[in-house]
């Protein structure tokens, strides 16, 4: 499929997806929402893809969320509020049952609706000048879906501070690291290479083990603790078949440990 708003490259088990609306600061419109829904379905069923990297070209913004000028909804959709879709259902990998690990590499601003991608990422890294914020309340709009989606990623009071201050404050890369919004900060020049390096390390591991691990952990967030633990056992029973090891431990060389 040829895409208008994103660039897709697949090599060595890694699908690299680059947002491609630089003139609109990579904000999403209806075309991008449709293309992401098609993209996730394609990547979910592609046996040549084990890991996904989502990134944006170096510039002012990774993404500023929804395109406020063009919009993403169909004409007249707001007149039927109970028929409206949440754009996160189209943009987010987990909403589209993609259990292949997703690494998001953020440079520039990540604002508002950009959290649809961040909230469903398995790993987020960013460059030193990256910033994160939610401008909804500044413009008189309720901020709800994006911050609620961030519950599993950010501490409650950090979420409240971000949404209530709106455009008056931005989370820096170092603060994002401190509150675990991101797991690593690197230079802008090294951001893409580092994302590719992490993706390659994951892609080299058995696909069933990786996808089962990702799905189990994400599903556990919606369950009470005892039920989550019980459900986790089922994944080991399905993903670790008795008498069939995907990796021969006797012949596998373990690389040197790295400290993070």
Residue of higher predicted confidence among 90 and 245: 90
> CA–CA separation, 110 vs 131, rounded Å?
6
Residue 134: name the closest of 107, 116, 153, 152 by CA: 116
Residue 240 has a pLDDT of 74
Residue 163 has pLDDT above 80, yes or no: yes
> What is each CA distance from 256 to 247, 253, 259, in whole angstroms?
18, 9, 10
Residue 47 has pLDDT above 90, yes or no: yes
Residue of higher predicted confidence among 37 and 70: 37
DSSP 148-174: HHTTTTS-HHHHHHHHHHGGG--EEHH
Phi/psi of residue 55, each to 5°?
-150, 175
The number of CA neighbours under 13 Å toward the Cβ of 217 is 13
> Per-residue confidence at 235, pLDDT binned at 50, 70, 90?
confident
Residue 245 has pLDDT above 70, yes or no: no
Residue 11: name the closest of 206, 194, 208, 200 by CA: 200
Q: What residues contact 62, with CB distance under 8 A and at least 6 apart?
A: 19, 26, 55, 56, 106, 107, 108, 109, 110, 114, 130
Residue of higher predicted confidence among 19 and 151: 19
How much is the average pLDDT of 40-58?
96
Residue 249 has a pLDDT of 67
Alpha helices in 133-257 (DSSP H): 145-149, 156-165, 173-178, 188-203, 207-220, 225-239
Handedness of CA 96, 228, 53, 185 (dihedral sign): positive
Residue 76 has a pLDDT of 61
> Per-residue confidence at 69, pLDDT binned at 50, 70, 90?
confident
Percentage of the residues of the chain whose pLDDT score is greater than 90: 73
> CA–CA separation, 203 vs 194, rounded Å?
14
Residue 204 has a pLDDT of 95
Note whether 166 and 144 are within 8 A (CB). no
Residue 139 has pLDDT above 90, yes or no: yes
Residue 80 has a pLDDT of 62
> CA–CA separation, 236 vs 52, rounded Å?
24
Residue given tokens 């056992």 in the structure block: 233
Handedness of CA 86, 91, 92, 95 (dihedral sign): positive
> CA–CA separation, 13 vs 16, rounded Å?
10
Residue 186 has pLDDT above 70, yes or no: yes
Residue 231 has a pLDDT of 82
Q: What is the pLDDT of residues 189-199, one digit of tens each?
A: 999 999 999 99
Q: What is the pLDDT of residues 73-128, one digit of tens each?
A: 666 666 566 666 777 789 999 999 999 999 999 999 999 999 999 999 999 999 99
> CA–CA separation, 228 vs 212, rounded Å?
14
Residue 12 has pLDDT above 80, yes or no: yes
The number of CA neighbours under 13 Å toward the Cβ of 60 is 8
Mean pLDDT of the chain: 90
Residue given tokens 């008189």 in the structure block: 140
Residue 218 has a pLDDT of 93
């Amino acid at each position: 499929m040829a895409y208008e708003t994103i660039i897709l490259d697949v090599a060595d088990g890694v699908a690299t997806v680059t947002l491609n609306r630089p003139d609109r600061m990579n904000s999403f419109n209806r075309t991008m929402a449709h293309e992401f829904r098609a993209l996730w379905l394609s990547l979910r069923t592609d046996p040549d893809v084990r890991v996904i990297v989502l990134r944006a070209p170096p510039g002012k913004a990774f993404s500023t969320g929804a395109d406020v000028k063009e919009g993403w909804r169909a004409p007249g959709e707001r007149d039927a509020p109970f028929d409206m879709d949440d754009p996160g259902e189209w943009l987010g990998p987990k909403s589209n049952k993609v259990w292949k690990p997703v690494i998001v590499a953020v440079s520039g601003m990540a604002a508002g609706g950009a959290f649809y991608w961040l909230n469903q990422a398995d790993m987020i890294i960013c460059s030193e000048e990256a910033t994160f914020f939610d401008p909804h309340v500044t413009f008189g709009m309720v901020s709800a879906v994006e911050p609620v989606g961030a519950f599993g990623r950010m501490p409650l009071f950090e979420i409240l501070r971000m949404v209530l201050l709106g455009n008056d404050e931005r989370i820096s890369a170092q603060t994002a690291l401190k509150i675990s919004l991101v797991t690593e900060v690197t230079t802008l020049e090294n951001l893409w290479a580092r994302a590719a390096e992490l993706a390659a390390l994951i892609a080299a591991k058995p696909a069933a083990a990786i996808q089962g691990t990702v799905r189990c952990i994400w599903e556990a967030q919606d369950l009470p603790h005892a039920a989550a633990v019980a459900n986790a056992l089922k994944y080991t029973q399905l993903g670790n078949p008795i008498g069939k090891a995907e990796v021969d431990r006797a012949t596998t060389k373990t690389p040197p440990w790295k400290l993070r």
